[in-house]
Amino acid sequence: MADTPRNPLLNPVLRFTKEPKPEGVSGGGKSAKGIKTERLAGQRRVLAAQFVALAAEAAQRPRFDGRVVLYAAMFDDSLAPTWTPSDLFQPTRDARLVAPYRLGYLVEVAANRLAAFAYLVQRSGLAKDQVDISRIESVRFFADDDTAGASSLDAIWQAAPETETGRAFVVWLMPLRGRDAAEQLIQVFAALRDNTIAPPAPLLGAIAAELDANVPAVMRRSLRAAAAGGDRFNVAVREYRLRRRARTTVIVPTPAALQQLVASGTVFRIEPVQPISSTSPGEGREPDRPLPADMASLPIVGVVDGGMSATSYRHAEAWRAPPLIRDRAADRLHGNRVTSLVVQGHDWNNNLTLPPLYCQVGTVQAVARQDARAFVDPQDFIVYLDSVMAANPDTRVWNFSLNQRQPCQLDSVSPLGHDIAVLARKHSVLPVISIGNKPGSLLQPPADCEAAVTVGGRLHGDNGAPAGECPVSLCGPGPASMLKPDLSHFSHVRALGGALIAGSSFSTALTSPLAAHTMQRLREGSPDLVKALLLHNADGQGFDPSLGFGTPAVTSLPWECRSGFVTLQWKAALRPGAAFYWDLPIPPSLRHSGKLRGMGCLTAILNPHPMVTDYAGPNYFSVRLATALQYQRGRTPKGASKFHNLLGSLDTEKITEQEARTIDHKWSPVRHHRSDFQSVSFDAETLRVYARVYARDLYLYGYTGADEVPEMEAVFVLSLGSGEEDDDVYNELRVQLGAFVETAVIDSDIVIDNQGD
């Protein structure tokens, strides 16, 4: 049996209650300094010629209210939000940006103004126009090939699942902003229904008709309302009229009809519908281990899988949803195994370093066997999950040991990943999602869900401790600068049946109980805070595309402080346009010999909603968070105090946007900085935590300035220690902070005395 040392909970994580000090910051903007003078003249000629050619060709292109859609590609050194070409393409010129796309932007422009743009780029003397002209590399029409992305139409036709009347695709309507243009697009799209495309049959209607009194009333009402929501096309049209964006599933009967749909110009993006599946190895016996008598007091994990039929786990089942997949097609073998690991994974694997954490489960039978050929529309899957989550508000952690068998595109977030993130934010729950298994090279949807803890596989050593990379599990990173997987866990384990099985499904099932117990132990637990504590407690020294930030430690659980360390957690509401600071006294143990020495870790997670859009490709996130732990030393040329990062990222202002995205994952909502520091000279008696939110692509949300962006929620977890277990950093900082700190944990045995020892 593995040695899993456990100590009494003596030092719980502390909640920091001090309000930050905001300081206004001067915004940037375009000026003559931003003109790339060395290429301005050349780009005037290039763009003018391209606009002339576009004007001549416009009559043959799809138009809506006389408007066409262009793709303006930017130079690599001009991808930062500062250089968005909103001054050249503005409504007063019958043009406007509609969405980020690839390495540039989609532009909606009146076809009869294209010739005028040719003259404008040649002659404009306005500095802001010249900035844009010198930074736009090329302009062209949005083409049919763009709709299918990197694939051909033939390839996506072959990849789409077959139904009785054709093949199933997900389509995004072209995000036109003009009202009249949008109405004309709706008319053209609706006309395609006669012979070209059709909506899928409503799957939820059959489920809603079979609901009985045993199903909770909230779930019955929600499922019946979804089933009665109307024709799928009409739902998409209503959403498009409201938001100028909509996505829906369509059935296309022939390759020729697919070509006709794309040529209509109504579609911005099209993908084959991808089945949701699990990995199902071998048969086996049911376990005979007894479960705790007080299961009803334990946290509940919603298990979205193939269902659960093992009678030995009925005692652990807190609730059961009406099945989305019929029993004959459901992957119950996989569901049973995942359930057994969620309930008692440490019992099944008592040779591994796993904390003894039992859980209850809520059963959601929503995954079919791979050989069952059961078609489930992902949009129906999401509506179904919405109802189930609404009916079970006490279930705060949801296990998704499932994937779609296709690699995530690094330049766009998957529809399923986005939709689960929207549900997670709506219901304040934490999804724990598997990264997927080989064959393949990149993570699979919905592992690119920003709100989730994505889990990859990891081997174990002879002593039962975490070891190297798993040969079965896929790896990251994710799209839109996301650092995925977030965590890794044991992937070669035993579960129901007793046989050795492998896969990221099982790593995920071992992670969910830890997340659920962390949520239950926190006084003001939130999904982002639980995620931050799990990442903060992981054993990695930085992000690794195979292992994420590592595996959660067992010597101290996420709600505990390690010996020789103190951990603070807090949350804040931040707006763009200001920098926020929290001052912290320096514990005596960290400043021996007059210099700072020790180690620290700062983890922060920004909730980016509502400033996300699945239409924005690599610009999925329209806000980002910068944060650092800083110390004071020296003076600026103007005599102000000078601050340096003790824990923090590189200076992204000194590198290109593309480098900042690649090297520093600049737009990731997760910031995680860990470092040792030795013999650091400092001037003041305090450290400070810095945080600032930046915004981009405001036109996507109808905003004209950063002051219109709503407050964005962020959580922070900070640990500091000297590296010496005998140093009482915990009580030193607790006493120094006094009334600004309290225990973050629900535990009647803990007493925090802020009056000192």
Domain boundaries, the chain: 21-25+561-743, 32-142, 147-272, 276-536
Assign 567 to helix, strand or coil: strand
SS3 label, residue 562: coil
Residue 293, number of CB atoms within 10 A of its CB: 8
Which residues are CB-neighbours of 639 under 8 A, at least 6 positions away?
Answer: none
d(C-alpha 7, C-alpha 563), whole Å: 10
270: left (phi over 0), alpha (psi -120 to 50) or beta: beta
CA distance 439 to 545: 17
How many CB atoms neighbour CB 397 within 10 A?
Answer: 27
Answer whether 21-25+561-743 and 276-536 agree in fold.
no
Q: Are 107 and 178 in contact (CB under 8 A)?
A: no
SS3 of 659, please?
helix
Q: Does CATH place domain 21-25+561-743 in 2.60.120.380?
A: yes
Helix and strand totals (H; E) in the chain = 17, 30
**Which class would CATH give 276-536?**
alpha beta
Distance CA(281)–CA(654), nearest Å, equals: 51
Q: Say how far residue 15 (Cα) sits from the centre of its chain.
A: 25
Buried b (16+ CB within 10 A) or exposed e, 473-500: bbbbbbbbbbbbbbbbbbbbbbbbbeee
Torsion, CA 204, CA 207, CA 213, CA 215, rounded to 10: -70
Q: How far apart, in whole angstroms, are the C-alpha atoms of residue 300 and residue 20?
A: 35
The SS3 assignment for 742 reads: strand
pTM: 0.93
User: What pLDDT score was predicted for residue 200?
Assistant: 81
With a CB cutoff of 8 Å and minimum separation 6, the contacts of 401 are 278, 303, 305, 334, 338, 434, 504, 505, 506, 508, 509
Average pLDDT per consecutive 10 residues, the chain (757 residues; last block may be shorter): 51 94 78 94 97 96 95 94 94 94 95 96 95 97 89 92 91 93 94 86 74 78 77 88 93 95 95 78 46 91 96 93 93 95 93 94 94 84 93 96 92 95 98 95 96 96 92 94 96 87 95 98 96 96 94 93 94 94 95 88 97 94 95 87 84 69 87 91 92 95 91 97 87 95 76 44
pLDDT at 8: 53
